[in-house]
A and B are shown apart, each in its own frame.
Chain A
């Protein structure tokens, strides 16, 4: 299974795969913007401001996906000790931090007109802030040591342990009394959302997922190039043999 995943990763990260994903990302984000800003109706209670949902929710879901990839790649690294998995985990963590930050900022922009405040120490908001801190710490730890295998090992442990917060964030609105609304799509009895709104939301999630795939291909290429430059700078002899 690991070999199949590696082959798929190799195909997706080729330059032609990267260009194809770039075009697909632009098209998907464009379609998503039209659906969410033009086609979907305004919310009966919140009005136009509810349209922030079509970017806020996909950003949050993609943060979960990014950290899930960090979790899986970290386990794969500890099992195989292959640098490639460490590179995947590092790339996904960086993108996950971007999506988490985006979800928080978009939540603040939605919260101000609806709740009357930019921020409150609500369980969902607090656990999300903790999630962001965990993965910022993950990225910081990677800069602490120059030893590649020690760095990868420490990071993998944080990548596995840190993932515990993801289900806590997701279920915080069910476990504790929260100002944040509960699950709308994944709930017993089916989604509690109007059809066009659900379509716009799902297209938004799909568009953000393609964006994530594109950013991953770019970030993996950057990782390879930066590692090569560092290797060549540190080891003139090895570099001279190439």
Chain B
């Protein structure tokens, strides 16, 4: 392995984790907000 290749691997890994992790977090936030809205609407329907 080339000298200092570990830093390059770490750099690209950090980039993938940051961008991928943030994307997944946004999907989770969207799902949670939608669920919250549906729960409130459901409670209102049920009186």
Partner-B contacts on A (CB < 8 A): 29, 33, 37, 42, 47-49, 51-52, 55-56, 59, 95, 98, 101-102, 105-106, 109-110, 112-113, 211, 214-215, 218-219, 221-222, 225-226, 228-229, 232-233, 236, 239-240
- Fill in one digit per residue for B18-47: 1 if any A CB lies within 8 Å of its CB, else 0: 110011001101100110110011001000
In the complex, the answer to whether A215 meets B44 with C-beta atoms within 8 Å is no
Q: Which A residues are CB-close (under 8 A) to B29?
A: 222, 225-226
User: 8 closest pairs, A vs B, by CB?
Assistant: A225-B33, A49-B4, A229-B36, A48-B2, A52-B11, A218-B26, A113-B4, A226-B33
Complex: how many Å from CA A29 to CA B7?
19
Q: Which chain B residues border A55 with CB–CB below 8 Å?
A: 11-12, 15
A229 touches B12 (CB 8 A): no
Residues of B within 8 A of A29 (CB): 19
* B12: A residues at CB distance < 8 A: 33, 37, 55
Give the size of the chain B interface in residues (CB under 8 angstroms): 26
- What is the interface of chain B, defined by CB distance below 8 A to chain A? 2-5, 7-8, 10-12, 14-15, 18-19, 22-23, 26-27, 29-30, 33-34, 36-37, 40-41, 44
Contacts of B37 in A (CB 8 A): 225, 228-229, 232
Chain B residues whose C-beta falls within 8 Å of the C-beta of A48 in the assembled complex: 2-5, 8
Q: Could you tell me if B23 and A218 are in contact, using CB atoms closer than 8 angstroms?
A: yes
Quote the shortest CB–CB distance from A177 to chain B (angstroms): 26
Chain B residues positioned under 8 Å from A98 (CB to CB): 18-19, 22
CB proximity of A83 to chain B, nearest CB, Å: 16
B18 contact set on A, CB distance < 8 A = 98, 101-102
- The answer on a CB contact under 8 Å between A109 and B30 is no
